[in-house]
Structure 1
Amino acid sequence: MAQPYEERNSAVKTRRQQEDQRRMAFRRAIEDHTDQRQLRLETADYPDLSAINYWQASSASGRRSAQPTR
């Protein structure tokens, strides 16, 4: 049985929106990766900075894993 035009049209719109959302998420991931890579390249000239970032990252992750007190 054939679907009414409105149902087919809304299904097409929904599928296109989902495809657009996936495409944008993929694009954001690529842009984030590119930005991080560029930052790493720019900070590679400063070896002391990587040590600071390591200690900041390890202390931040330690704070996130702590359970809140009641």
Structure 2
Amino acid sequence: MQRVHDDSAHLDSKTRRKLEDQRRMQYRRAIEDRAEQRRLQMECSDYPYPELIAANYLLSSKAVRRKSGAKVR
């Protein structure tokens, strides 16, 4: 891993290690967040388009009303 040499020359080793660990953890969290985002995107893309879901719901509710209306008469 490449070290950043900006102000780390005058820091003691404990502080330098702590900063490196913070950078590593930040990088690791970014990778995990990206993986979670991709997983959620894949799950959401498995569902059909919302417009089709709404259209199917409206058509099925009309059919149910017709059937229930025919029985009442």
- Could you say which TM-score interval applies, normalised by the shorter chain? 0.5 to 0.7
Match of 1:6 in 2: 14
**2:31 pairs with 1:23:** yes
Give the whole-Å Cα distance in 1 for the aligned partners of 2:38 and 2:16: 33
Q: CA RMSD in A?
A: 2.2
Question: Residue 3 of structure 1: CA displacement?
Answer: 1.8
Normalised to the residue count of structure 2, the TM-score between the two structures is: 0.53
Q: Which residue of 1 aligns with 2:71?
A: none
Cross-structure match for 2:40:
32
Supply the AA of the counterpart residue of 1:4.
D
Q: Distance in 2 between matches of 1:3 and 1:40?
A: 56
4+ long deviations beyond 6 Å? none
Higher normalized contact order (CA 8 Å, seq sep 6+, divided by chain length)? 2
SS at match of 2:22: helix
Q: Report matched runs for 1:37-52 at 5 Å.
A: 37-40=45-48, 47=52, 50-51=53-54, 52=57
Q: Structure 1: any 5+ residue segments left out of the alignment? A: 42-46, 53-70
Identity between Structure 1 and Structure 2 (%):
11
1:10-48: per-residue Cα shift (whole Å, max 9, x none)? 00100011111111111111000001112338xxxxx4x
